[in-house]
Amino acid sequence: KPHAVIFDLDGVIVDTAKHHFQAWKQLADELGFNFTEEDNERLKGVSRMDSLNILLEIGGLNKSESEKQELAARKNKRYVEAISVMDESEILPGVLRFLQELKEHNIPYALGSASKNAPLILKQIGLYEKFNAIVDGNSISKAKPDPEVFLRGAEELSVTPGNCVVFEDAQSGIEAGKAAGMYVVGVGDSAVLAGADDYIRTMEEMTVSRLEK
Ligand code: B16
Ligand code: MG
């Protein structure tokens, strides 16, 4: 039985990837190049600045550090506008039921997200108070695939990493969870996500008894 669970946010609890995509696409349009949903896969789980660098690479553009700051701020302003109108209806299927099940089993759970906007999103969907710990882009120095975000989560829950289960939808996040020495459940397509210990399509397939096996 796991002693604790750590959830990624985007792609596991909510689908904010679509809002990230819209905001990055608008920026690419303004910079004069096309940005596709397939390109957007590369930005999942990646920090804001690393995402911008990938976007600029796709567009074949070089920008100074101050220009990059402006572009990232412009993207984030639009993204924040989009997530500011989110509500609990955007919580992905199976999430609330599974959180309730964890609570009934006295298994604490934390958030381990790359996003600096994680607190705002959790407040919008009404889950901010429910997490026993929140580790996000504001409190970490090394982005996934570095294990820092998940190791901090385990520390804040006072459990050893080997007793934690991580839920992740991004390749960088699966690598971060494995590097932290945790049991990793990939959320999504096992043909696309490599290296997880188990795979589910959505949280609807997850139960505590499945983790006990
Ligand atoms: P922000 P996660 C990640 O969230 C997203 O998957 C990724 O696309 C985004 O660039 C990153 O957060 C940073 O987000 O610009 O809001 O700080 O999957 O780690 O919950
Ligand atoms: Mg994610």
Specify the pLDDT at position 3.
Answer: 95
Å from CA of 201 to ligand 2 middle: 14
CA distance 53 to 92: 29
Ligand 1 closest atom vs CA 170: 18
Marked catalytic residue, from 8, 29, 197, 198: 8
CA distance 87 to 134: 19
Supply 25's token pair. Answer: 């696409």
Specify the pLDDT at position 45.
Answer: 87
Specify the pLDDT at position 1.
Answer: 81
Active site annotation includes 10: yes
Ligand 1 environment, Cβ below 6 A? 8-11, 20, 43-48, 51, 76, 113-117, 137, 170
- 206 in helix, strand or coil? coil
Please give the model's pTM, rounded to 2 decimal places.
0.94
Quick: pLDDT tens for 36-55: 999 998 898 899 999 999 99
Specify the pLDDT at position 142.
Answer: 94
Residue segments in the chain with a per-residue pLDDT below the cut of 70: none
Å from CA of 114 to ligand 1 middle: 5
Which of 113, 140, 172, 193 gets mutated to test ligand 1 (max ligand atoms within 8 A of its CB)?
113
Specify the pLDDT at position 29.
Answer: 98
Active site annotation includes 29: no
CA distance 88 to 76: 22
The H or E element that residue 151 is part of is helix 148-157
DSSP 26-61: HHHHHHT----HHHHGGGTT--HHHHHHHHHHHHT-
User: ipTM value of the model?
Assistant: 0.93
Ligand 1 closest atom vs CA 149: 19
